Amino acid sequence: MVSILDIIGPVMVGPSSSHTAGACRLGLVARDLVAGTPTKALIELHGSFARTGEGHGTDKAIVGGLLGFRPDDERLRDALGIMEKEGLDWRFEKTTLGDEPEVHPNTVRITVTREHRHHVMVGASLGAGRIKVSQIDGYPVEVDGSHHTIVMVAEDIKGSIARISGILSDNDVNIATLRLTRKHRGGDAFMVIEVDERPDDAVGAALKALPWVKWTHRIDKVGG
């Protein structure tokens, strides 16, 4: 099935939906992992992002996303200057994250730090502004930004999903999808919960209060 976005592309600033709109949305997701503008960031560009990203404005787009700008925000054009003016410790590097087709050519690894928060995210821009985040802190995930999303690391204990589902239900938040991965039985579990409604701060506080939850963050919908 072909979407109208595949034909005309998203509303955006920039010459390329994959190199700018998608890149900006990847920056927005990384920003949400540290709940605001990171003070330090390492942005590692792979494949086409590394070869042609600068000419297509990928650097500006990712920085704009980290600053909280949406793909149609005119400030994207000046994102690098805004970053420098604010004195943020952000740098770009070119890297190789693997071979195609296992690793999409428009892939970036973003390491972000803000206060006590520090996270590493790997994601790709798939075209027409669509994205896929494939890894957070070494855990395999699938986040496309089409839903508000809760990500968390928790101890792998019985009844954890029921408790989390109950908190969301009590706060009138409906689960769209829920995926759980773990490195081994009894170890840490990584949960990705896509929801129909944007969870408020009370939901986040209730989840963080669970004694077996190590950390949790909300990723706001960025497209789709």
Rounded to whole angstroms, the Cα distance separating 64 from 78 reads 8
- So what's the pLDDT on residue 36? 96
- So what's the pLDDT on residue 9? 45
- So what's the pLDDT on residue 133? 96
Rounded to whole angstroms, the Cα distance separating 194 from 151 reads 9
Q: Is 197:172 a contact under the CB 8 Å cutoff?
A: yes
Looking at the DSSP assignment, which residues form a beta bridge with residue 123? 108, 133
Q: 16 CB contacts (<8 Å, ≥6 apart)?
A: 56, 57
Q: 47 CB contacts (<8 Å, ≥6 apart)?
A: 96, 97, 100, 103, 104, 105, 106, 107
- So what's the pLDDT on residue 223? 77
DSSP calls for 94-130:
EE----TTTS-SEEEEEEEEETTEEEEEEEEEEETTE
**How confident is the prediction along the chain (224 residues), in pLDDT tens digits per residue?**
434 444 334 444 444 556 789 999 999 999 999 999 999 999 999 999 999 888 889 999 999 999 999 998 999 999 999 999 999 999 999 999 998 788 999 999 999 999 999 999 999 999 888 999 999 999 889 999 999 999 999 998 889 999 999 999 999 999 999 999 887 777 889 999 999 999 999 999 999 999 999 999 999 999 76
Domain spans in the chain, listed from the N-terminal domain onward: 4-137, 148-219
- So what's the pLDDT on residue 8? 35
| Burial state string for 116-130 with b = 16 or more CB within 10 A and e = fewer than 16 | eeebbbbbbbebbbb
- For the entire predicted model, the pTM comes to 0.87
Rounded to whole angstroms, the Cα distance separating 56 from 53 reads 5
What fold characterizes domain 4-137? 60s Ribosomal Protein L30; Chain: A; (3.30.1330)
- So what's the pLDDT on residue 102? 87
What fold characterizes domain 148-219? Alpha-Beta Plaits (3.30.70)
Tokens in use for 120?
């590493």
Cβ atoms within 10 Å, residue 213: 18
